[in-house]
Amino acid sequence: MAQIEATSASKVVILDFGSQYTQVIARRIRECQVYSEILKFDTPAADLAKRGALGIILSGGPASVYAKDAPQVDPGLFKLGLPILGICYGMQLMGYHLGGRVEHSARREYGAGQLFLKAENQSRKLDGRHCPLFRGLPEVLDVWSSHGDKITKLPRGFQTVAHTGNSPFAAIEDSRRKFYGLQVHPEVAHTPRGKEIIANFVYQICGGKMDWTMGSFIDQACAEIRDQVGSDQVVLGLSGGVDSSVAAALITKPSATSSPAFL
């Protein structure tokens, strides 16, 4: 069965680099009533351009950007003119491809911590409260981190907007190109106000609108299945897993004018 995409004008694409939290990112975006779509990390930029997305999120992942088999992006995505948010590995990868430097940290940052939007040493003149990612949020945030590498030199055009005790570049932005990076994980429950960070990216930076719901997606999915099947019948191998169970539920859902096409 062909993949079913939402026809909503608001869509954010997530490129998956193997993070255990990728599905959580997608859920957080959909909680904003904006459709999210997860694609393989090396999806060509030309394919991304055709999908009508308002923005792109680069997920975290277990690799190091310098590793021989590290997953990489098509560099062309940075020329699409779309807002991009890199999270953890996604941030490091963006920095690496755009001319910054990523290095292994002497101390791994894992677990609960704090993100500071203002520098403790005011001579650094760091004040990230202007950054649209953090609109409406306090200058100190409880966050969750899980990384061994970090950016140690910013790419040209970027500035730092927040730091942690271990990383001076824990949040970065290039406001002209609308590129943003977070070393912390806003998508997890252990970052209590992370939903607001993601919502700010979706609404304030990407310009997304609340025009998607799960109910509307179910109706659309059923309509597309009926169009594909027509008067034929469908044989479904039901394993009991999530994918086949959802497919069975959609196939057997009758419309107002027809019965399900199911064997």
- Active site (annotated) includes residue 185: yes
- Amino acid, res. 144: W
Give the pair of three-digit tokens for residue 29: 């975006």
CA dihedral over 165, 112, 131, 55, signed as positive or negative: positive
SS3 label, residue 13: strand
Say if residues 55 and 90 touch (Cβ distance below 8 Å): no
CA dist 100 and 79 (Å) reads: 17
Q: Rounded to an integer, what distance in angstroms lies between the CA atom of residue 171 and that of residue 224?
A: 41
Let me know: does 141 contact 153? Beta carbons within 8 Å.
Answer: no
* Cα torsion 32, 2, 54, 71: sign: positive
* Active-site pick, 109, 147, 187, 206: 187
187 is catalytic: yes
- Of 88, 131, 206, 222, the active-site residue reads 88
Alpha carbon 169 to chain centroid distance? 19
Residue of 109, 185, 206, 222 with catalytic role: 185
Are 100 and 138 in contact by the 8 Å Cβ rule? The answer is: no
Residues 6+ apart with CB under 8 A from 156: 98, 99
Residues marked active site are found at 88, 185, 187
